[in-house]
Amino acid sequence: MENAYEKAYEKGVELEKLITRLFEAKGYYAKHNALLVGRSGVKHQIDVYAEYKAPLHTSRIIVECKAYDKPVNKDIVMKLISEVNDLGVDRGILVTTSYFTPDAVSTASGYNIDLWDQAKLRELLGEIPLEEAKAPQNAFYVEPRIGAGQCRLVVERKLKGFLGMKGAIEECAVIFYPFYEAHIEGKIYVSRGVLRRTTKELIVNSAILVDAMDGSLCNYTGKRVERVLRISRLTEDEAKALKLFLVRPQITTSGLAAFLGCSTSKARRIVQGLVIKGLVAQGGRGIYVLKQRIPDPAALRTLAPQLPLKPLQSSKEAILTPKLNLSGLENMVKVFWEGVVKDYRLIYYPYYACKIAEKGRRRIEAIDMMSGESDEEASRILTSIHEQLPI
């Protein structure tokens, strides 16, 4: 009986992964086994979550997959309708390897629910060869310039100390690390006048590079990726306050309270949140100043113009799944530049990752396979997820 349950589970997971690849092949950002929070505060485990960025709207879809031999009844349809309403997505899709009962079909009618039975599923999969459905069309990778052997020598030299080796290499692998390269439209504020007390608003169209693992805004120097700026997700009030700081060089809590239309104590809590997140610093006499200037995106360089990109192949190994989803990317652009993402693609950049055993702990040493140099930020990020790496 245990083997039967295991086989049923594996069959279900394979169907979910197949549907994920189907959406990716159609140009969607798709995530398998997503945890989403609804308007009610309830968490929903969704088999497949898919987004498609159109010029005027981002289409959001949730998909539930049922690898059944028996028909799907109305109760499952009603559950999906409830999830769609709570999550506020555009559409829900129920997929099955069997068929739907008449009551299930009637229940879905009139709601933004699509039903894909075995025949529909076969039709959709027939449109796309399976080898194409395994990799998204907007995903690319960079071929390593520096070999694995040379990268390992860099790690070994770095571990050598005056009294011997500072750690032992346990295992190494080539890791393809994800970055978003997005075309955006947004605003920047330029200081004017002798005392630079006034600002001018400019609209910019530019490409940006964003670390898809930790959400850092990046710049490619032509030799390596530099993480320029990273902040935690801001609340709506913090985002409004930051906008004011971008326009005015210094603000008091009373001035911020007047701008936000709230009490001084609430304004103080909001600005303290920005202080904790490293964006604002406290000056004298209750004045707060912008600590970290938001860069002009046009001044940052991306990967595509400087490196040859190859379409991502389904056989590519050791590809990390992005932790930052498209909504997170859009939120960053909205906060930094009050902008929108017009288009994007994923670019996988090569690192040589070595697992190091040192003083009873494990850490990752990452070597940039384009420059052959150690990358401290990539090492830190990969160390934080080292248990998920194929080494």
**pLDDT tens for each residue of 134-174:** 445 578 999 999 999 999 999 999 888 766 667 889 999 99
At 78 the pLDDT is: 95
Q: How far apart are CA 288 and CA 366, in angstroms?
A: 38
> To which residue do tokens 């160390």 refer?
383
Q: How far apart are CA 157 and CA 177, in angstroms?
A: 24
At 334 the pLDDT is: 83
Where in the chain are all domains bearing CATH 3.40.1350.10?
2-134
* 53-69 residues labelled b (16+ CB within 10 A) or e (exposed): beeeeeebbbbbbbbbe
Q: How far apart are CA 36 and CA 201, in angstroms?
A: 36
Q: How far apart are CA 341 and CA 55, in angstroms?
A: 9
At 135 the pLDDT is: 44
Closest CA to 224 of 209, 234, 235: 209
At 132 the pLDDT is: 41
> What does the DSSP 8-state code read for residue 166?
S
Q: Exposed, middle or buried, 22 (CB in 10 Å: 0-12/13-18/19+)?
A: buried
Q: What would the CATH number be for the domain defined by 2-134?
A: 3.40.1350.10
> To which residue do tokens 């890791």 refer?
175
At 10 the pLDDT is: 66
Task: Give me the sign of the Cα torsion angle 99, 101, 107, 110.
Answer: positive
Q: Name the stretches of the chain with pLDDT < 50.
A: 1-6, 128-135, 194-196, 315
Pairing label, strands 160-161, 164-165: antiparallel
